[in-house]
Homo-oligomer: A and B are copies of this chain.
Amino acid sequence: MKFVSPNCKNCRARENSLFSFCQVRETEQLNAVKTANLYKKGQYIFYENAAPIGLFCINTGAVKLCKLSSNGKEQITRIARPGDLLGYRSLIAKTTYTYSAVAIEDTAICLIPKPEFFALIRNNSQFYEGLMQLLCKEADEMEAKIGDIAYKPVRGRIAEALMLLAGAAKESGYITLTREDLASLVGTVKETAIRIISEFREENLLEVDKRRIRILRPEKLMQISNLYD
């Protein structure tokens, strides 16, 4: 299989990432030290509890971030996409990874080794600040998610997740997540997720082609997502 290592200079993923703060020279340096890798669907990029080795930047594809709970179930905390950075929290806090990262499509990812990452935050204060803001945003989102899971019924959470996924799903507008992954993303089980999707289909809020889902009535779903008991 032919895989051309992406060049940071003209990397589209870089543009909507924190690396947009980098100067041309820095970008060239990054390009020189980074290593690129292709992960097949289902392959692990890194494991929960492992020691971090660097900063990952997703080039193409999609990755699920998940933790294993003691009852053996997998909880997906987020779906990461091109331009998203992975692993910085563990690097900064000097801890092990708090979640695993698994490719859910064939995915290309670049890795910036630890030393270069730290050099970057030392030398580029804009990048540093950006990272800090990213952390805050991430925290805000998680905080919101806690509220959701605690009080929003599954139906609403699924509606919400579908909206988010559709927004993130580039051109196509198709959501290709597995029902199981979708369930795990909103904190429920496969069967419940399926039933609710079926309801939405019957109400013509979305259509299902093979496994893929396409939203038809975003407004309606949005409304359901905000509707409580």
Interface on A for B, CB 8 Å cutoff? 67, 69-71, 73, 75, 77, 89-90, 92-95, 98-99, 131-133, 135-140, 142-147, 149-152, 187, 226, 228-229
Contacts and interface: CB of A to CB of B under 8 A. Distances in A.
Given A151-B69, A151-B187, A152-B69, A139 B142 contact: yes
Contact of A133 (B92, B139, B143, B229): B92
A151 B149 CA distance: 10
A168 B187 CA distance: 29
A123 to B, nearest CB: 13
A146 to B, nearest CB: 6
- Stoichiometry, as copies per complex, reads 2
Nearest to A185: B150
B139 A135 contact: yes
Given A75-B147, A135-B139, 17 more contacts: A69-B147, A69-B150, A69-B228, A70-B226, A73-B151, A77-B146, A93-B140, A98-B144, A131-B132, A135-B135, A139-B139, A139-B142, A146-B149, A149-B149, A149-B150, A149-B187, A150-B187
